[in-house]
Amino acid sequence: MTEDDRFQRMIRSQKFLDRIPHMSALGVQLEDFDVGRVTVRLPYRADIVGNPDTGVLAGGAISALLDNACGSSVVARVAKPNAFATLDLRIDYMRPAEPGRDVLAFAECYKVTRLIAFVRGYAYHDDPAKPIANAAATFMFTGRGELPQAKAAP
């Protein structure tokens, strides 16, 4: 893969996030990128707090962050753009996000078949070994464009 191909995938991943209204409204930003792997940031804001007494972010914001980080990793993995939808998403919450702190989410698209992409990810603050939540997701390609060819993860 050329550096230009990598750059084009990164741009597509950012555009993917920007086109999703709730990701734009949450202010989610692409932090790091590699082929099939992304890290995104959800800035802490008072208007997305789920419990005003504790200041802990709403679980829905964390779910949306992980779902879209996982989707972004699919965009970062496939060579040609194609529409897809979340087929399955499982999130295990390990602990609450800490009040006043941004949340990062890392996702890796580790396998792509002709119709399905498989992804794993996690949300955390500073240390990925101390996750706020873990995610496992599958996405189904729904577009009429060229379907991706199955290939090993980079």
Residues shown for the chain: 154
Provide the residue-wise pLDDT of the chain in tens; the chain has 154 residues.
Answer: 676 766 666 677 667 767 777 777 788 888 888 888 999 999 999 999 998 999 999 999 999 999 989 998 998 888 777 888 999 999 999 999 999 999 999 999 999 998 999 999 999 999 999 999 999 999 999 876 554 554 445 5
Beta-sheet strands, E only, within the chain? 29-34, 37-42, 49-51, 56-57, 84-93, 103-112, 116-124, 133-141
pLDDT at 148: 53
Q: Cα 72 to chain center, whole Å?
A: 5
Q: Is 111 helix (H, G, I), strand (E, B) or coil?
A: strand
Residue ranges of the domains in the chain? 3-141
Strands 133-141 and 56-57: unpaired
Torsion of CA 30, 58, 119, 32, to 10 degrees: 20
Closest CA to 103 of 81, 127, 79: 127
pLDDT at 134: 97
Between CA 40 and CA 31 the distance in angstroms is: 5
Q: What CATH number has the domain spanning 3-141?
A: 3.10.129.10
pLDDT at 149: 52
pTM score of the predicted model: 0.83
pLDDT at 150: 46
pLDDT at 6: 65
pLDDT at 107: 97
Instruction: Name 59's Cβ contacts closer than 8 Å, sequence gap at least 6.
Output: 50, 93
pLDDT at 21: 72
pLDDT at 152: 47
